[in-house]
A and B are shown apart, each in its own frame.
Chain A
Amino acid sequence: MQIAVQGIGVVGCFGAGVAKMRQALLTGAVSPAAFDLPGCGTPLAISAFRADTSSLADFVPLKALRRIDNFSRLGLLGAYLALQDAGVPAAEKQERLGVVIASGYGATGSTFAFLDSFINDGDICASPTYFANSVHNSAAAYISIMLGATGPSSTVSQFHHSVPSALQTACLWLAEGRVDRVLFGAIEELSELIGYAWHRQRGRADIPEMTPLLTGAESAIPGEGAAFLLLTRREESQGGYCLLDRVITGRHLKPGFLPSPLDLLVLGADGRIEKGGDYAKLAKKATVACFTSLYGSMPGSPAFDIAIAALMLKEGKTFDSPGSAVCDFPATVATGGESLKGCCVSCLSLSDDDGFGLINLSKG
């Protein structure tokens, strides 16, 4: 079954909404900033792509947000923006709307604040609000409650496989007729804990910019944000962006499995040195694009790639890949403003365990 992408809601370092994302794609100007980690004992800061959710106040009164943590706020803003982009009034009760969330990290800010409250003040002082927010489906629950969505909701966390796996769930619900529409979205929050773990694992605090199409060099900068899509069955779609043809997950991807060289391949390469060579090998002879430098490295990044691919299909042209001036991939990097040669765009993401997610989109 083909699924239609009806609306997009994105929040990242580039701002909130499709217009802000498009502007960043045209200018390539998104810079990471210093992210202070005061709880690490010694003064420490890393470069990071942070996202701002203050525009959520345009959709929900502040008072209604007071128990909602940063992770869920990112998701709520993405969800409201996707509905707005699709022309669906948020005030309308969404009776057959499902909500599927993908997150590799989850709500680490609340989860570890809850655990810290045990350690610092004893179990009698554990915060019930932190507990509620640390439950892994809480963001989907907040979105469902705020939108009056009475369809099913689910959260999938399979680290780098989270987005394709969650997308498969969304497509299945639509194919089964369980729902008429699905709000699918990836959310990643850059909590202090993730920042510290990043620093310990990757160690570099002074990377000025990401060069994702350069193998043999570590240039990953962590990011946070949310990317949401409003999905419907093709026959019920009106306007919208593009069709979602296939979502394939598996292990040990062979280059022959990739789409026609005419079609654009959006790579999830994000400057992690251990994956750069794998992307380069698979992208051999392909026409590629890569946009991770606009939102940073995070497990949920394939959802941003899908959003950008959908926008390219709608506009019929490509965008420049930021950071691609430094490139040693044996591939053709698409130039911004060119017409899309094929009718399909595929998004490829690779995980650390030789797994892959391949998402095929077409003009329809």
Chain B
Amino acid sequence: MNTKEKLKKILIEDLNLEELTPEDIDDNAPLFGEGLGLDSLDAVELVVIIQKHFGIEIKNMEEGREAFRSVEALAAYVDQRLATT
């Protein structure tokens, strides 16, 4: 399972997106607002989820904002951080 698929599965399970399947999530759709419809509380949950599942701590707000644009961006961020540690 690649990082994108793993992320989609984790998002559905940990954010209780019960009505969605991984196939329903567009790689490039925005995670917040339109698209997946996540909100500010989910942003905090996402930071926790990334740390818990990948051991990556997001300390920088700007870094997080860029990574949380879409599943595609988040997967690229995770892969890049894992490659440099």
**CB of B79 within 8 Å of the partner chain:** no
Given A66-B16, A66-B18, also A124-B41 (CB < 8 A): no
- CA–CA, A126 and B47, complex, Å: 10
- CA–CA, A66 and B14, complex, Å: 10
CB within 8 Å of B: which A121-165 residues: 121, 124-129, 132
Given A62-B19, A63-B19, A66-B18, also A121-B52 (CB < 8 A): yes
The closest CB in chain A to the CB of B19 belongs to A62
Contact B44 A128 (CB under 8 A): yes
Given A124-B57, A129-B41, also A67-B16 (CB < 8 A): yes
- CA–CA, A138 and B52, complex, Å: 26
- Smallest beta-carbon distance A57→chain B, Å: 9
Contact A127 B51 (CB under 8 A): no
**CB of B17 within 8 Å of the partner chain:** yes
19 other contacts beyond A66-B17, A67-B41, A127-B45, with CB at 8 A cut-off? A62-B18, A62-B19, A63-B19, A63-B37, A66-B15, A66-B16, A66-B18, A67-B16, A121-B51, A121-B52, A124-B57, A125-B48, A125-B51, A126-B48, A127-B48, A128-B41, A128-B45, A129-B45, A132-B41
* In the A-B complex, the 6 residue pairs with the closest CB atoms: A66-B16, A62-B19, A128-B44, A125-B52, A125-B48, A62-B18
Selected A-B contacts with CB under 8 Å, 14 pairs: A63-B19, A65-B18, A66-B15, A67-B41, A121-B51, A121-B52, A124-B57, A125-B48, A125-B52, A127-B45, A127-B48, A128-B48, A129-B41, A132-B41
Give chain A's interface residues, CB within 8 Å of chain B. 62-63, 65-67, 121, 124-129, 132
